[in-house]
Amino acid sequence: MEFYQKHPVWGHTRLTTTEDGLLVDRKRLTNYVRTEIPYEELLPVRGKMERSFPLVLSFFVAFGVVGSWAQELGKPIVNQAYLVASGAASLVVAGVCYFTYTRWQNRFVLTTGKGDFSVVAQPENDAEMQQFVDDLRAYTRAYLHQRYVYPNQELTTKKGVSRWYWLHEMKVISTEEFQAGFTANIGKGAK
């Protein structure tokens, strides 16, 4: 599986599943990061949209517009063109604030057990990114299930028991599977 996003000015982000983990390849204008997160450290995997809007900036703009109108309220209307231009400018500023609020710094944050990675959210990539997160979560669980549940059902050692608890905690195995495997194998250690 792979998710690739090219940024217009500053580089790219590529998330790729490999044989042993998730490869994060990110190139920005000033730095380059390439790291692989093993599947054992990847769960829990979540994805969410975040929006950061410069609220302080919009308060200053609104304060400036209201302040300029307040100054003009006490004066007699001498020039109606100024009043119309001021109203039009206010509408333009309000439109820019609304546009900025709906489009400003939308990003998709991929949260893993090892850390968070953000990708600039583009409307055409939202569904693809969420699908990648869902597939990555399912693939990681299947990988851990195949690697640790079937070959290592030996629960007689402390390491085996702690691994069994870890697999249950990461929701790789269900509660029923956890209880059945634990009770079936706990008697082997007593022999």
Q: Are residues 85 and 61 in the same domain?
A: yes
How confident is the model over 17-44, as a mean pLDDT?
Answer: 88
What is the residue type of 4?
Answer: Y
Q: How many domains, the chain?
A: 3
How confident is the model over 99-106, as a mean pLDDT?
Answer: 67
Q: How far apart are CA 136 and CA 154, in angstroms?
A: 28
pLDDT tens digit sequence for 62-95:
677 666 666 666 666 666 677 677 778 878 877 7
pLDDT at 159: 72
Cα separations in angstroms, 76 against 4, 64, 72: 60, 20, 8
Q: Are residues 85 and 121 in the same domain?
A: no
Instruction: Identify the domain containing residue 191 by its residue range.
Output: 152-191
pLDDT at 48: 85
Q: Are residues 118 and 37 in the same domain?
A: yes
Q: How far apart are CA 87 and CA 91, in angstroms?
A: 6
pTM of structure: 0.65
